[in-house]
Amino acid sequence: MIHPPPFTLRYRLQLPLLVSGLGICALAQAQAPVATTSVLEPVVITGSYVPSASFDLPFSVDTVSAEQINDGQLGVNLSEVLGRVPGLVVQNRQNYAQDLQISSRGYGARSAFGIRGLKLISDGIPASTPDGQGQAASLNLDVADRIEVLRGPTSAIYGSNAGGVIQMFSRDGQGAPRVGAETTFGSDGFNKNHLYSEGGNDKVGFLLDASRMDTDGYRDHSAARRDQTFGKLTFTPDQDSRLALIYSSLEQNGTEDPLGQTWEAYKHDPRSVSPVAETYNTRKSIDHQQLGLNYERYIGDATLQFNLYAGRRSVIQYLSIPRTVASNSQRGGGVVDFDREFHGGTLRWIQPIQGVPGDLTITVGADYDRSRDDRRGFQNFSGDTLGVKGELRRDEQDTATSLDPYVQAHWELGRWTVDAGMRHSTMDMDVDDHYLANGDASGSKKYQRNIPSLSVMYAFTPELHAYVSAGKAFETPTQAEMAYAPGLVESFNFGLEPSTSTQYEFGLKARLNERTRVNAAVFEIRTEDEIVVASATDGRTSYRNAGKTLRRGFELGVQSELNDHWQATLAYTFLDATYDEAFEQGTTPIDKGNRLPGVPRNSLFGELTWKPVEGIAMGLEAQYRSDVQVEDSNASKAAPSYTVFNWRTRFEQHLGPWTFHQLVRLDNLLDRQYVGSVIVGDSNGRYYEAAPGRAWYAGAGLEYQF
């Protein structure tokens, strides 16, 4: 298929949004009503599809508010704001070529790049492909109104590869039109420039946003430039319907990849880079655009929800596979090059049921998602020149498709609340091999499961709720995990089976007083056929199904408005994640009781904020993480535990139609040297990725309201 040039497609989509937004400026003079909720009493839709107070829902769901997202943060990575959510481990690799590493109760911890095993959603549009691979960078924090995080058995209502759900909602353009600009500078050549315009009334609203982030990176060979744009138009033609059109793009050209570090190299120089990264100039370029439509209409007492989306993503990545290996390899090569087209939609009907005791709501819907990759692989050399696109070694079309119907019931009956759901989840992987020099690797595989969940809550008092929850889940292999069969077989690994899980959770939600809320949960997850590394040699990693794993843990979240000026947040997670059955990884025995790599046993986040007067906000953040194993045998050096502190202050002033703000931020106040993230099972022993020492940031911005 012939694609239009990236800039052509981008501006075809952006220009109508910009023109429409300028036209709306003339209309958006009346202040639209804004729904406000307390930080301690957030209203969420994740998990139930119906707006509900999170305190009244029988499962673990947390909200990060717009204030928490914007208050003294850089607006670049989800790691800035998700540390406050119990159960999540968010590791900033300091490597924009590989994105963040996020796990929820252990799901997703083995991901070598991007997000794995978690469902990412932005304004109802999946940021994860049907096979379960997602990119956190596609969630734009500059436009976020809130982020909802769902964990536990109820996550399964979102289908396969939903060990947890992270859903971002962008804000609507509201109020008198305004324009703004801000810039931020910092350590290691960091610079972010941000422009926006927004406004709206009770009929129409707009939001336009663009930013550019540059950094030299903490480590050598880790420079990056990220350009993001976002446009949103909202229409309310009548009191019963609402329409939103949403466009977003992400562009990263020539993002340098420093790879991981051996323990010796990390200790010798935390900023160091593996020599092969510079020899082969390891790097990655991304060009991503998508367009979505959300429509909601009230029909009597029922609600119809409908969305459509489509987009494209082009990636070219230069790896460090040695030339001698790449010359002998018959498949793959050292340069990954693919063009992806994706589209899908959701149709959902929410119906209150009359004539039954209590309040019963039934939700029936179906999700359809499809992605098609025109995937090619090349040698990463040409003649004696390394780090360039050479001879073709792979040419195929990979198509992943999912179609998931589901039904869910939410029933409030006196002091009891029941949520029950069933989803029939399918994922079809189809491979059409066009490179036949090494034989035909074409084939297909279909994965399908019925995924049930059940949650029951009892209100002992209006301030104390207890719940139990149970459910099934399954996790399909990603296209990357199926790319190579174990050994030297030149084919897709169609024999790789999904892992299946049974989850249990017991939780308490309590309001100690009008200013303090506590959430606590204990959970157990039993998994069979866990997908693990079978072999990893010279850049070629294959996977297999292992035995059983067991994850048991405890989560505690506390939010307290101590008084009118002080607020405190605490998030603690204990997670004992182990193999529950011995197996062999090649010739290496993996014993029962070994810890799962990439999963810390203890994580603690604390935050204390002070707002002495209007326009001044100061915060102190603390993060503790215990040691992390880096591979399945647990024989290699574990990444040590660490504690870091961050400090931030934000000032804001108003002068007529003008608003000014300033930011000062210091990360890693005590200049602690530590491993910020790990690459699980790296065959070269380069497991470790150093986090920066003390880093400073300063910024300023202004806004004018018409």
Dihedrals φ, ψ of 111, to 5°?
-60, 125
Least confident span in 125-139, 282-296, 553-567? 125-139
End-to-end CA, the chain? 46
| Confidence band, pLDDT 50/70/90 cuts, at residue 334 | confident
Q: Which residue has the higher pLDDT, 264 or 92?
A: 264
pLDDT of residue 13: 37
CA of residue 214 relative to chain centroid, distance: 21
pLDDT at residue 40 above 80? no
Could you give the domains of the chain?
Answer: 6-162+177-705 (2.40.170.20)
Q: Inform me whether the pLDDT recorded for 21 exceeds 70.
A: no
From the CB of residue 324, how many other CB atoms can be counted at a distance below 10 Å? 9
Report the distance separating Cα 100 and Cα 118, nearest Å: 13
Whole-structure pTM value = 0.91
Q: Which of 37-41, 238-242, 331-335, 591-595 has the lowest mean pLDDT?
A: 37-41
* Paired strand residues for 668: none
The angle at the Cα of 168, spanning 166 to 172, to the nearest 5 degrees, equals 165
Nearest partner of 646 among 610, 689, 696, judged by Cα: 696
The tokens describing 153, both together, are 């058995």
Mark out the alpha helices in 412-559 (DSSP H runs). Answer: 479-482
Contacts of residue 488, Cβ cutoff 8 Å, sequence gap at least 6: none
pLDDT in tens, 404-458: 999 999 999 999 999 999 999 999 999 999 988 877 889 999 999 999 999 999 9
Report whether pLDDT(20) > 50: no
Within 10 Å of residue 666's Cβ, how many Cβ atoms? 17
Q: Over pLDDT 70: what percentage of the chain?
A: 92
* In the predicted structure, residue 32 carries a pLDDT above the cut 90: no
Question: Mean pLDDT over residues 185-201, rounded?
Answer: 97
Task: Quick: pLDDT tens for 60-82.
Answer: 999 999 999 999 999 999 999 99
